[in-house]
Amino acid sequence: MASLSTFINKLGKRAGRKAYNAYHQEYRNTHRRRIRAYNIEYKRKRGAGLPTKSTHGRAARKARNTQKHRLYVKARYAKQKGVGGSYTLQQWHALLKQYDYRCAICRKRKPLTADHIVPVSLWRTFYRPWIEDGTMTYQCNDIENIQPLCALCNSIKSNKLMGDGDFVAFREDL
């Protein structure tokens, strides 16, 4: 069976591709039984029962553990920024239950994301004195600095601090 490059070299790109496609179609038609037998044998030897998509690797783990993956990404980002802290999936679910699975700002039941009350980008700048003298007992990525927000409220809040004129969170314990 000739290769595509052979046809392209002889006839040019467009004419070569057309000639190759015609040749390939004719080859498949004349050798249909042989190709079918080869495919059956190939699948038998190499395991036809294997799934078509990979069940291993980063993409598959991410699909199986979406929330766990989000926690990992947030923890990695906080570590890169030089602020500490972490929280578990159980703590996140307890926080969602505390908020009755509603957004902390609009109070609607939507898919929720974890939002830092004091943004990671502002943590070291504004809170260093309180951290150093021991008044602040938690770190940036601890559950005490996390609130559940819907995607819309989270994008509007961005990296701002919530003040009097801004959104008002209804978290009583902070």
What would the pLDDT profile of 60-101 be if each residue is shown by its tens digit? Answer: 777 778 888 888 888 888 888 878 788 888 999 999 999 999
- 33 residue type, one letter: R
**Does residue 169 have a pLDDT over 60?**
no
Domain spans in the chain, listed from the N-terminal domain onward = 4-46, 61-157
Backbone angles phi, psi at 117, to 5 degrees: -60, -50
Give the per-residue pLDDT at 168: 47
Ramachandran category for residue 148: left, alpha or beta (phi over 0 → left; psi -120 to 50 → alpha): beta
Taking the C-alpha atoms of residue 18 and residue 125, their distance in angstroms, rounded to an integer, is 64
What are the pLDDT digits (tens) for 34-43?
999 988 888 7
